[in-house]
Each structure stands twice: as structure tokens, then as C-alpha cells.
């Protein structure tokens, strides 16, 4: 874990992500110290087997709860893509917003949304309202829990 974090820190260019990775070192270190301290105190006072079981019983509900929340939530980008790709066959583009969407695989999370038709330079009022509504529904999809 530590070696992979060091490799990531050395290879990353973004300051914020490097800061997060450096802070993760301290979080893991202090979590290790706190659980180790509890286990050693319990092992010293009572029994070694109990000292090994208590940290596992503390961390197990956290792992299970995190897995459940992670499996039930979706990212904002995926949720927005769901709304933009809603089928409607009566529209020329085949989707409800009547827009053309695409994504470039260039390590940047950008959606490109164009109005349908070569002679349409801007979105109509209806399309703009639909895009705003879809974005407002999708932006908090990861924090609904």
C-alpha cells in the first residue's frame, strides 16, 4: 500500500491529488496506531484472542456498510448520461433531449453535448431547460444516502 502511494505521488502532476495522497498516509498510519493501541491494551489486560477479535468486530460493520452504499450509488456522470440517453423515437436524435452527445477518451471527464442538426448553432429553450433539469437531478446522485 505504501509503495503504491509513493509511486502515485511521484508520478502525479496535480497538487490537490498529491495532497490527498499524502494525507492518506497519515490517516492510515493513525488508524493503524489507534486500532493497534486498543488491541494491545485489551491483550495486556484480558486475553490475546479477544484483542484480535475486537478490531475485526469494529471494522466489519464499517466495511459492510461502505460496500452496500457503494453498490447502491452511482456517479453523477453516469446518472447524467442516463438522462441524456433516454430514448424517444419521435425526436430526430432518438433521445428525449434531441441532442448529440459524445465523450473523448483523453483522461478528462468531459461530456460534449451538441444540438441536433448541422444548421442549429445553439440549443433551443426547451433543450436548455431539459439539460438544466437533468444536471440538477444528476449532480447529487452520489450523496443521496
Task: Quote the DSSP letter at residue 143.
Answer: G
* Residue range 92-103, pLDDT digits in tens: 777 877 787 777
Average pLDDT over residues 14-38: 76
Exposed, middle or buried by CB within 10 Å (0-12, 13-18, 19+), for 137? middle
Residue with cell 434531441: 98
**Cα–Cα distance, 65 to 68 (Å, whole number):** 5
Query: Rounded mean pLDDT of the chain?
Result: 77
**Cα–Cα distance, 2 to 79 (Å, whole number):** 34
Please count the other Cβ atoms lying within 10 Å of the Cβ belonging to residue 80.
Answer: 20
* Residue range 30-85, pLDDT digits in tens: 888 887 787 788 778 888 777 777 777 878 888 888 788 777 777 777 788 888 88
More confident residue, 60 or 12: 60
**Cα–Cα distance, 88 to 102 (Å, whole number):** 18
This prediction has a pTM of: 0.51
* Residue range 111-145, pLDDT digits in tens: 788 887 777 788 888 888 988 888 888 887 766 55
SS3 state of residue 116: coil
Please count the other Cβ atoms lying within 10 Å of the Cβ belonging to residue 116.
Answer: 17
Amino acid at each position: 500500500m505504501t509503495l503504491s502511494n509513493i509511486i502515485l505521488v511521484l508520478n502525479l502532476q496535480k497538487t490537490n491529488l498529491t495532497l490527498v495522497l499524502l494525507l492518506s498516509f497519515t490517516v492510515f498510519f493513525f488508524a493503524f496506531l489507534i486500532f493497534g493501541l486498543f488491541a494491545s491494551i485489551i491483550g495486556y489486560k484480558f486475553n490475546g484472542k479477544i484483542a484480535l477479535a475486537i478490531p475485526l468486530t469494529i471494522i466489519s460493520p464499517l466495511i459492510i456498510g461502505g460496500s452496500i452504499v457503494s453498490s447502491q450509488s452511482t456517479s453523477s456522470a453516469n446518472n447524467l448520461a442516463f438522462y441524456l440517453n433516454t430514448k424517444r423515437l419521435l425526436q430526430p436524435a432518438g433521445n428525449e433531449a434531441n441532442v448529440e452527445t459524445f465523450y473523448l477518451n483523453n483522461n478528462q471527464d468531459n461530456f460534449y453535448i451538441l444540438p441536433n442538426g448541422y444548421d442549429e448553432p445553439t440549443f433551443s429553450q426547451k433543450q436548455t431547460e431539459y439539460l438544466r433539469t437533468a444536471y440538477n437531478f444528476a449532480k447529487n446522485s452520489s450523496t443521496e444516502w
